[in-house]
């Protein structure tokens, strides 16, 4: 790659020395102006390194993974609020939500998610009579399966998997037949009552393409949600996936091969 | 008799073929009309749909982009334990407030009981299921009783919402409870 560039530069110099110097000077002046003039609001901070170079239809150099750290989540619902704000999700529908698990010493499991965790958890659970053994929060979102069953059942090609692994919805083609809503083993899909099409979490594809982290990852105050590139050896997700943590996916037996991984997931959830 | 039958048979065949041709043409015409030109380029979907999804409006920005225009808050917010808390969690999405660096509307600023509700979303002790060591937990009326203030107090009467321990530490310093240079907790402000 470098050799190619070097040879190209040499060729340019050979062609026209004067023009080359002009170009270089022009470039440096323009570059320094870039530093002086503050970048506009449309200039996004690059939270995911290297996304500026991804200009094609699909992302080619990266393999994204989403990790949710159960041991860190405090159930504040920041992620749900950010998600609702980002997409103006109609009330009563959730692209992401947070479930509360309470397990007592008789192994009874109590799960609830009032308003999807959007208003946070304000009340303790009253119906747990035995001493509590284990409690934790489980944030849920699209699992971005490698073998998505929702795509398989879509009769009009409105749900599709891009070549970079994102499962997205074309709301101009969707006829809201709800096949995908039923096919999804993780129940992340719903029919949006405003657009009258199927809707679900997209891992904020529009933000990721601009180099921003997904809205929920960006707002999490305790870094319970992590998003990154597995091809980047310096990324946190790469680090986590290589270490001997307890990492699992939901409903492994369904064979959908989710790209969403959970850290410290209890067997009661799987 | 024979040729007559034959000609009639042919006529039927021609009719059937004609109908098939018309139907086929209709199907091709309908396909051309209803299937977008970029459909099926990479798979069973419209390539333009990826572009549509990509061009969706970014409504939530980063704390960085908020604090760029609010240097005073920046100094306080980044100096305290709440530095990881998102601005937009309490104040709403950036897109409703500024477009291309220009203000279009005021951000909602929470007051009174709303502040208390926001604080308790993270710090409420009665909601079990939270990792103990992660953040400070308080039980609500007990905390106020313990600190010997009225139970009608709102959190921000003692705690700066952007840097919760700021005023507490300043007050302790002013009363000589902690020395000027000494930090109560190295990670706190």
Note whether A173 contacts B49, CB cutoff 8 Å: yes
| CB of B9 less than 8 A from some CB of A | no
Give Cα separations from A63 to A1, A78, A139, A144, A146 (angstroms). Answer: 21, 26, 22, 12, 11
Helix A2-15 vs helix A17-36: angle between axes, to the nearest 10 degrees? 120
Q: Which of A44, A101, A157 sits opposite B129 (nearest CB)?
A: A101
Instruction: Give SS3 for A14.
Output: helix
Containing A12, the helix (H) or strand (E) segment is helix A2-15
| CB of A201 less than 8 A from some CB of B | no
- What is the C-alpha separation between B130 and B156, in angstroms, rounded? 23
Interface of B with A in 120-149 (CB under 8 A): 120-122, 124, 126-131, 134-135
The whole-angstrom distance between B123's CA and the closest CA on chain A is: 9
In this predicted model, what pLDDT tens digit does every residue of A121-180 receive, in sequence order? 988 888 889 998 888 999 999 999 999 999 999 999 999 999 999 999 999 999 999 999
The whole-angstrom distance between B184's CA and the closest CA on chain A is: 22
The whole-angstrom distance between B147's CA and the closest CA on chain A is: 22
Largest CA distance in chain B: 126
In this predicted model, what pLDDT tens digit does every residue of A83-119 receive, in sequence order? 999 999 999 999 999 999 999 999 999 999 999 999 9
pLDDT confidence tier of residue A2, bands split at 50, 70 and 90 = very low
Task: Flag whether pLDDT at A250 surpasses 60.
Answer: yes
pLDDT confidence tier of residue A252, bands split at 50, 70 and 90 = very high
Note whether B50 contacts A120, CB cutoff 8 Å: no
**φ and ψ at A134, to 5 degrees?**
-150, 135
| CB of A25 less than 8 A from some CB of B | no
Instruction: Tell me the two tokens of residue B35.
Output: 């299937």
Determine the pLDDT at residue A230.
93
Using a 10 angstrom Cβ sphere, with 0-12 exposed, 13-18 middle and 19 or more buried, the burial of residue A27 is: exposed
Q: Low-confidence residues of chain B, pLDDT below 70?
A: 1-9, 129, 132, 180-189
Residue entry with tokens 């302790």: B172
């Amino acid at each position: 790659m470098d050799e190619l560039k070097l040879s190209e530069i040499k060729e340019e110099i050979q062609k026209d020395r004067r023009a080359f110097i002009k170009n270089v000077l022009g470039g440096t002046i323009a570059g320094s102006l870039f530093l002086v003039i503050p970048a506009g609001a449309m200039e996004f901070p690059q939270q995911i390194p290297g996304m500026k170079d991804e200009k094609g239809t699909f992302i080619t150099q990266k393999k994204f993974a989403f990790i949710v750290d159960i041991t860190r989540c405090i159930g504040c619902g920041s992620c749900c609020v950010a998600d609702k704000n980002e997409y103006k999700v109609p009330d009563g529908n959730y692209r992401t939500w947070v479930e509360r698990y309470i397990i007592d010493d008789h192994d009874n499991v109590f799960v609830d998610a009032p308003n999807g965790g959007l208003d946070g958890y304000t009340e303790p659970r009253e119906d747990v009579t035995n001493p509590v053994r284990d409690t934790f929060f489980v944030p849920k979102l699209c699992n971005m399966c490698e073998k998505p069953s929702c795509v398989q059942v879509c009769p009009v090609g409105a749900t599709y998997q891009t070549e970079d692994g994102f499962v997205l919805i074309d709301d101009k083609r969707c006829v809201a037949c709800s096949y995908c809503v039923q096919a999804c083993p993780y129940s992340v899909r719903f029919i949006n009552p405003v657009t009258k099409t199927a809707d679900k979490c997209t891992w904020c594809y529009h933000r990721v393409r601009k180099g921003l982290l997904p809205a929920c990852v960006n707002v999490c105050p305790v870094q319970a949600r992590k998003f990154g590139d597995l091809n980047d050896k310096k990324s946190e997700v790469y680090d986590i996936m290589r270490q001997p943590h307890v990492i699992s996916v939901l409903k492994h037996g369904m064979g959908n091969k989710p790209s969403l991984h959970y850290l410290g997931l209890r067997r009661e959830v799987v | 008799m024979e040729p007559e039958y034959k000609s009639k048979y042919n006529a039927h065949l021609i009719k059937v073929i004609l109908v098939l041709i018309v139907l086929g043409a209709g199907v091709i015409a309908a396909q051309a009309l209803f299937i977008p030109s970029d459909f099926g380029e990479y798979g069973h979907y419209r390539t333009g749909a990826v572009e549509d999804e990509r061009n969706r409006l970014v409504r939530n920005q980063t704390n960085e982009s908020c604090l760029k225009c609010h240097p005073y808050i920046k100094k306080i917010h980044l100096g305290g334990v709440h530095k990881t808390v998102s601005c937009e969690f309490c104040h709403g999405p950036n897109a409703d407030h500024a477009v291309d660096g220009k203000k279009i509307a005021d951000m909602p600023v929470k007051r009174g009981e709303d502040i208390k509700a926001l604080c308790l979303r993270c710090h409420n002790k009665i909601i079990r299921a939270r990792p103990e060591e992660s953040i400070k937990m308080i039980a609500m009326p007990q905390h106020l009783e313990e600190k010997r203030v009225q139970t009608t107090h709102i959190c921000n009467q003692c705690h700066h919402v952007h840097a919760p321990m700021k005023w507490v530490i300043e007050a302790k310093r002013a009363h000589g409870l902690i020395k000027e240079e000494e930090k109560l907790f190295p990670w706190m402000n």
